[in-house]
Structure 1
Amino acid sequence: MTEGHDVQALSDVDIHVYEAVASQTVESGGAGLDGLVHACGLTEEEVRHSLTKLVEHGYVVPQGDGYGLGPHTFEVEY
């Protein structure tokens, strides 16, 4: 993630998926794809597309078989 990266530049879908990753990471230490699809109410393709974007920007990192949070300078309420 680049310095000064603006979270406001993310789409509503990306923020929704990020919040689901954050919630599941706090609860269980990581977020799996199936759980994210269920939590977000989106198709698997939509969640995968969003995760790709979030990983590219460093907001989310691959973690084992799932995903975790990358370094961030903002808080998420869920």
Structure 2
Amino acid sequence: MHIQHDVQTMSTDDTTVYEAVAAVSTQRRAAHVADVVHMTGLPEETVRRSLAFLTENGWLKTRGGIYILGPHDWEVDY
């Protein structure tokens, strides 16, 4: 199954959170909520809401409180 995402459905906070997880993934590690809060400066509640949205829509995958990139159709350059 090929997933196609419409990035236009992402809010500014969602994009910021996604980019933080993507930046952590360039270091070949998964992101924790605390990492994303620290990197974005967003309130923890906002980060958790965005992580849930991004996970529900397949942009991120989660396991045991860590987040990694899900399949995507665009490139992220860092």
TM-score of the two chains, using structure 1 as the length reference: 0.88
**Aligned equivalents of 1:67, 1:18: Cα separation in 2:** 10
In structure 2, the gaps of 5 or more residues are none
Percent identity between the aligned chains? 45
Report the AA paired with residue 19 of structure 1.
E
Divergent runs of 4+, >2 A: 2-5
Separation (CA, whole Å) in 2 of partners of 1:76 and 1:16: 13
1:76: Cα distance to partner? Answer: 2.0
**CA RMSD, Structure 1 to Structure 2 (Å):** 1.6
Does the Cα contact within 8 Å between 1:30 and 1:67 map onto a contact in 2?
yes
Number of residues of Structure 1 aligned to a counterpart in Structure 2: 77
- 2: distance between equivalents of 1:51 and 1:59? 9
1:24 maps to what in 2? 24
Deviates more, 1:27-36 or 1:51-60: 27-36
